[in-house]
Amino acid sequence: MTKTARRALLLLAPCLVLVLLGCPKKKPVEEPPVEEPQATPAPTPVPTPPPKEVQEPFREEKPAAPEELTADQIRARGLLQTVYFDLDKHDLSDVSRATLRTNAEWLKSHPNWKVVVEGHCDERGTTEYNLELASRRSRAVRDYLISLGIPESRFRTVSFGEERPAAPGHDEAAWAKNRRAEFAVE
């Protein structure tokens, strides 16, 4: 054999051995058999006891003391109700007297408050006439409350005439709301 043929054989022999023998084959990995899940009875739930109700002691809401209320709170809560009047009148109707009796009860139970009785009119009439009529209305309210046992020293009256309307408008519905005596606390 020639030198070249020998070299070729020497180079091919290892390749031939590798091809014949090759890499060893890997054994297939067998997965464990999947077991069918057996139906197991659901666990019996343990009943939980109902939550215990915590009862707080009864607390009676007491109204705020007179010192704790502000004038705005008294007005906002409507604790002193407005009195309404008929056209060109300053005398008290039965409804007005009932309202003032309720107001008197509140004033008796809150002796530290002083009250301003504000007289108002609708827009009809002259400024001078409306100021005088509003003044008579505020005095009529004050005098009736005094007759119910509220000391005169707790009152002050003021007349606004038509200057502070409660309802805007130029009809009977608005005018009826503007013919009034309101209360402000000091």
Which residues constitute the domain of residue 119?
Answer: 79-185
- The predicted structure's pLDDT at residue 78: 73
CA 52 to chain centre: 30
Task: Assess contact for 99 and 183: CB atoms under 8 A.
Answer: no
Tell whether 142 is covered by a domain. Answer: yes
pLDDT grade for 77, boundaries at 50, 70 and 90 = confident
Tell whether 16 is covered by a domain. Answer: no
Tell whether 53 is covered by a domain. Answer: no
- Residue 91 DSSP one-character state: S
- The predicted structure's pLDDT at residue 160: 95
- The predicted structure's pLDDT at residue 44: 61
- The predicted structure's pLDDT at residue 60: 46
Average pLDDT, the chain: 80
Task: Assess contact for 116 and 182: CB atoms under 8 A.
Answer: no
Tell whether 4 is covered by a domain. Answer: no
pLDDT tens digits, one per residue of 86-117: 999 999 999 999 999 999 999 999 998 999 99
Tell whether 70 is covered by a domain. Answer: no
Number of folded domains that form the chain:
1
Q: Give the residue with greater pLDDT, 79 vs 158.
A: 158
In the Cβ-directed half-sphere of 47, how many Cα atoms lie within 13 Å?
2
Q: What CATH number has the domain bearing residue 178?
A: 3.30.1330.60
- pTM: predicted TM-score of the whole model, two decimal places: 0.61
CA distances from 88 to 63, 92, 165 (A): 39, 12, 16
pLDDT tens digits, one per residue of 13-34: 666 555 556 655 555 556 555 5
Cross-strand partners of 84: 180
Tell whether 161 is covered by a domain. Answer: yes
- The predicted structure's pLDDT at residue 59: 45
54, pLDDT greater than 60: no
Tell whether 122 is covered by a domain. Answer: yes
Indicate the range of 3-17, 123-137, 169-183 predicted with least confidence. Answer: 3-17
Indicate the range of 9-13, 37-41, 69-73 predicted with least confidence. Answer: 37-41
User: Stretch 152-160: mean pLDDT, rounded?
Assistant: 95
